[in-house]
């Protein structure tokens, strides 16, 4: 096994031009911290350092482009690679504060499929390389229902069949999307409907049906805690948070994937990064088929490469088979909706205002 791994790393190194003496470079890589950064350190950082000698300094941040923009505008860039959400990748590219990335440097899949065809559609961008798919879903406490168990997004809104408090994120996104899907709108049509006044009214009317049962959360750590405390019987949540509660704390929670709203995290390189060339090589290495599959052994976020799916194994510590827990697993992805960042860029302010007024009623 160890010899096979060495061979795989060497092959990747040769393909990306890493062969030769160990590098004396250093990279500063910025991400979200916690279990997510740990998954990147284990799957990306440590193998890359072992292969190239490049030292990696890991820093945490809370998202957004403010720090990147400040560094670029001051001409004093210290970050080489940053993990961002899709909306920030697009906006940063448009504002000229990110380097463009030549996708031809990305390695092909093991069967020779070009990277451009192996990445899920919409995960490669002019200034960004996709890494993982994460989702907002809902989960419930299995001990609270002795008969039928919730299985659709409609069940989340059915307080007659499944009584009890509901946890929801305090804001219009993605509650309006969930409401419309629960009300019978096809996932593919949600944003077309939501772009009309009638569609917004329809979404809020559906939310009205559970408003009296709602308890609002704002931080990702809250939903599993609310479930564990019995404060709610089901809650919308980030899928990785629920998985971690099940895998590491043995909580009796079950995710319902129907109507999941998914999003992306991607690598970007700030304009003028001090180690731009090395950052490009790392971006290519860390987004190859094996590395993305390896990350999935640490956290339940789906690889953006199709070829990675078959290589997903067990959780590195809990021993749980990870493939069924990925947002991108075929059985989970059937009625999935990608968050439309362009829609929210255009309508966030007005819908926030409408939501806050509705909440105060």
Supply the pLDDT for residue 346: 86
Supply the pLDDT for residue 303: 95
Supply the pLDDT for residue 345: 81
Supply the pLDDT for residue 330: 87
Residues of the chain with CATH 3.40.190.10: 2-127+269-325, 136-262+334-360
- Which CATH superfamily includes the segment(s) 2-127+269-325? Periplasmic binding protein-like II (3.40.190.10)
Supply the pLDDT for residue 2: 32
List alpha helices for 1-45, DSSP H: 2-15, 34-40
Supply the pTM of this predicted model: 0.81
String of DSSP letters for 282-293: HHHHHTSHHHHH
User: Is omega for the bond preceding 174 within 30 degrees of 0, making it cis?
Assistant: yes
- In terms of Cβ atoms closer than 10 Å to its own Cβ (0-12, 13-18, 19+), residue 294 is buried
Please tell me the CATH code under which domain 136-262+334-360 is placed. Answer: 3.40.190.10
Stretches in the chain below the pLDDT threshold 70: 1-24
């Amino acid at each position: 096994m160890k010899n096979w791994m060495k061979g795989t790393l060497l092959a990747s190194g040769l393909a990306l031009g890493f062969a030769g003496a160990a590098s004396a470079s250093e990279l500063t890589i910025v991400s979200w911290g916690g279990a997510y950064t740990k998954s990147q350190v284990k799957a990306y950082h440590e193998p890359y350092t072992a292969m190239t000698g490049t030292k990696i300094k890991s820093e945490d941040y809370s998202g957004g482009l403010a720090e990147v923009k400040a560094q670029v505008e001051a001409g004093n860039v210290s970050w080489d690679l940053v993990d961002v959400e899709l909306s920030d990748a697009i906006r940063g590219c448009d504002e000229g504060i990110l380097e463009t990335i030549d996708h031809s440097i990305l390695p092909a899949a093991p069967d020779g499929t070009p990277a451009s065809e192996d990445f899920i559609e919409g995960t490669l961008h002019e200034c960004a390389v996709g890494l993982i798919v994460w989702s907002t879903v809902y989960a419930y406490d299995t001990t609270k229902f002795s008969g039928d168990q919730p299985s659709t997004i409609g069940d989340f809104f059915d307080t007659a069949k499944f009584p009890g408090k509901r946890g929801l994120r305090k804001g219009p996104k993605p509650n309006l999307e969930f409401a419309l899907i629960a009300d019978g709108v096809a996932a593919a049509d949600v944003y077309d409907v939501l772009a009309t006044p009638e569609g917004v009214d329809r979404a809020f009317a559906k939310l009205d049906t559970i408003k009296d049962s709602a308890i609002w959360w704002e931080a990702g750590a809250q939903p599993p805690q609310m479930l564990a405390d019995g404060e709610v019987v089901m809650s919308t949540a980030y899928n990785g948070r629920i998985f971690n509660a099940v895998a590491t704390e043995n909580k009796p929670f079950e995710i319902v994937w129907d109507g999941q709203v998914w999003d992306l995290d991607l690598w970007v390189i700030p304009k003028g990064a001090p180690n731009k060339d090395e950052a490009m090589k790392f971006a290519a290495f860390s987004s190859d088929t094996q590395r993305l599959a390896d990350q999935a052994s640490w956290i339940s976020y789906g690889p953006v490469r199709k070829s990675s799916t078959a290589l997903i194994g067990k959780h590195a510590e809990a021993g749980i088979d990870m493939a069924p827990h990925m947002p991108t697993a075929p059985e989970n992805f059937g009625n999935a909706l990608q968050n439309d960042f362009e829609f929210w860029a255009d309508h966030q302010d007005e819908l926030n205002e409408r939501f806050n007024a509705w909440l105060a009623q």
